[in-house]
Amino acid sequence: MLDQAVQPESETARKVRKVLGKFEEALRARDVDAAASMFLADSYWRDLVAFTWNIKTVEGPDAVRGMLAEQLSAIEPSGFDLQEGEEPAEEGGVTTAWITFETKAGRGWGLLRLKDGKIWTLLTALQELKGFEEAKGFDRPMGARHGADKNRSSWKEQREAEAAELGRTVQPYVVVVGGGQGGIALGARLRQLGVPALVLDRHERPGDQWRNRYKSLCLHDPVWYDHLPYIKFPENWPVFAPKDKIGDWLEMYTKVMELNYWTKTTVRSASYDEAAGEWTVEVDRDGETLTLKPKQLVLATGMSGKPNRPKFPGMEDFRGTIQHSSEHSGPDEWTGKKVVVVGSNNSAHDICAALWENDVDVTMVQRSSTHIVKSDSLMEIGLGALYSEQAVRNGMTTEKADMIFASLPYRIMHEFQKPIYDEIRERDADFYKALEKAGFDLDFGDDDSGLFMKYLRRGSGYYIDVGASQLIIDGKVKLAKGGVERFVEDGIVLGDGTKLEADLVVLATGYGSMNGWAADLISQEVADKVGKVWGLGSDTTKDPGPWEGEQRNMWKPTQQEALWFHGGNLHQSRHYSLYLALQLKARMEGLDTPVYALQQPHHLG
């Protein structure tokens, strides 16, 4: 039988290979000027740990030159090539190609976009460390130990021994504070890399972070966007999973991924000894006081983890109940009563809808304009190309979708988002007119770029509509507008003098920066040393400059040695947990990790 003829390489592939060859030649020669000259004046190189041991975007040839001048000798990049089986594509004058490469420390892949023969955008991402690859595929563990061996211990006995020792007679290399989706995803990554880690959480069971929230809570992002590392949701998993189902999945995940996960554990304090290069973490584990001595400390307490509880005059005189949205368990005990919800974003809408369904007289207080996008429109227009059943059937994998999304530089991402929300605004014009007629104040972000940019810049200011907006349109959920001036015995008074009677006031007032947890657990000095966590520095509402171009202090080194922040939605927890885990593993193994452009502190707490 004759071998199948090898398909000739396309002209586009040859063009990309030529660029990659020239680029590698310049890097090998340490000719940073030649390498930088291959980038357009308006260009962006986003690196996820591979070149910078950081998460960093450099913009323009001068910034490329500066980064390479500092990093090349330590990184030693080589082997740039087209990814096997991936044909470059050309569209609208842009050539897009999946690439692979190596560095002294590891192997990576990325996405390259060429325009006019030069590099427009480049994403480089470290995928594994040489000599410390995950045991998977052909290298997966055998599991069963064949043959005869006296006094052998079973898998169960080994796990029980490990659980008994870690944190007591054996110290973890990493302590992860917070066992929600972020801590769990990172714990799984570290486990697969052989990094001894403890995940600490105050709840009774993994997943209680979801179970204990208001009963109507469900994911507003579709299932294709929400997979955890290693184990994807099954094909019959609902598009929008209810909170208790997510809680059960997270609990299952901690068991099958063999995480060392301490429940009912509260961190009392943490301090860093620079001379010893280790943390002292004092914890209360179900009434027992223990001292942990990790080398690395990760705060995975949630990007939306520290409740913002504003203080208003007269709160002590209010005869009813005041809850933050994070404390609100549901509507059941409020049937037939009056509830005021202060806020108009995701949680406020969900809570108001559930209260109305349970015959509660509910009023939403809108303090500032809110971006609303209908769930089906977001799925079809905003996410469909990357995260949908159709995308899966078109050959899109979760990993490729994550990389495509990561390859769009934050500096210009709003330009890609605006047309999406222009289309949504046109499609749902009648819906938006009805909301405005009801008195609801709408916005699409400072520059009309919609939900994703609001989330990345400030993490608030939006609602993905799954039904509550119609209740506002129909007047079933009452709408009041303005700031809260004070509480009185039987309700609240707004700035214009409007009085709203209430048995319960829910403060759906959002969450503070994650460095607030650093202040609580470590010190205000360390929190200020780190600076603001989250936001891009876009100089838009609630995201003050200067421009950073990445999520501030997330998943990367901070000004406080050996302190890291991890969190975000399920997508971010999945994707960025890899890069944080690789950074931690590299340090554990003593690899050279020269960090380029360490995050500067801004907007202290």
Instruction: Report pLDDT for 436.
Output: 98
CATH fold of 163-306+513-589: FAD/NAD(P)-binding domain (3.50.50)
What gap in Å lies between CA 168 and CA 148, rounded to an integer?
A: 32
CATH fold of 321-507: FAD/NAD(P)-binding domain (3.50.50)
Q: How confident is the model at residue 5 (pLDDT cuts 50, 70, 90)?
A: low
364's CB contacts (< 8 A; 6+ apart) are: 341, 343, 344, 348, 349, 352, 472, 477, 478, 479, 480
Instruction: Report pLDDT for 6.
Output: 56
Selection from 20, 5, 24, 3 nearest residue 75 by Cα: 24
Strand partners, 129: 106
pLDDT at 370 over 60: yes
What pTM does this model have?
0.96
573's CB contacts (< 8 A; 6+ apart) are: 181, 182, 184, 185, 186, 228, 566, 567
Where do the H-state alpha helices sit in 148-271? 155-165, 181-192, 208-211, 243-256
Q: How confident is the model at residue 547 (pLDDT cuts 50, 70, 90)?
A: very high
Backbone angles phi, psi at 448, to 5 degrees: 60, 30
Residue type for position 299: L
Peptide bond into 294 cis (omega under 30): no
Q: What is the mean pLDDT of residues 432-460?
A: 96
Classify the C-alpha dihedral 383-384-389-391 as positive or negative. negative
8 A C-beta contact, residue 396 and residue 386: yes
Instruction: Report pLDDT for 213.
Output: 85
Instruction: Report pLDDT for 193.
Output: 98
Instruction: Report pLDDT for 217.
Output: 85
pLDDT at 302 over 50: yes
Render pLDDT for 456-512 as a digit per residue (tens, 0 to 9): 999 999 999 999 999 999 999 999 999 999 999 999 999 999 999 999 999 999 988
Q: What is the mean pLDDT of residues 151-180?
A: 94
Render pLDDT for 96-119 as a digit per residue (tens, 0 to 9): 999 999 999 999 999 999 999 999
Residue type for position 590: G
Selection from 189, 198, 142 nearest residue 168 by Cα: 198
pLDDT at 2 over 70: no
Structure tokens at 125: 């991402």
Q: How does 338-358 read in b/e, with b if 16+ C-beta sit within 10 Å? A: bbbbbbbbbbbbbbbbbbbeb
Instruction: Report pLDDT for 144.
Output: 77
Which bin fits 23, alpha (ψ -120 to 50), beta or left (φ > 0)? alpha
What gap in Å lies between CA 151 and CA 35, rounded to an integer?
A: 60
What gap in Å lies between CA 77 and CA 75, rounded to an integer?
A: 6
pLDDT at 295 over 90: yes
First to last CA, the chain: 72
* CATH number for the domain running over 11-129: 3.10.450.50
Instruction: Report pLDDT for 305.
Output: 62
| DSSP line for 319-348 | -SEEEEGGG---SGGGTTSEEEEE--SHHH
Q: Could you tell me how far CA 157 lies from the centroid of its own chain? A: 35
CA distances from 156 to 142, 161, 191, 391 (A): 16, 9, 17, 40
pLDDT at 294 over 90: yes
Portions of the chain given CATH number 3.10.450.50 = 11-129
**Picking from 84-93, 422-431, 510-519, which range would have the lowest pLDDT averaged per residue?**
510-519
Looking at the chain, the whole-number percentage of residues with pLDDT higher than 70 is: 98
Strand partners, 507: 324, 342
Q: What is the largest CA-CA distance in the chain?
A: 90
CA distances from 223 to 39, 235, 257, 379, 388 (A): 37, 9, 20, 11, 8
- Secondary structure (3-state) at 490: coil
- Secondary structure (3-state) at 245: helix
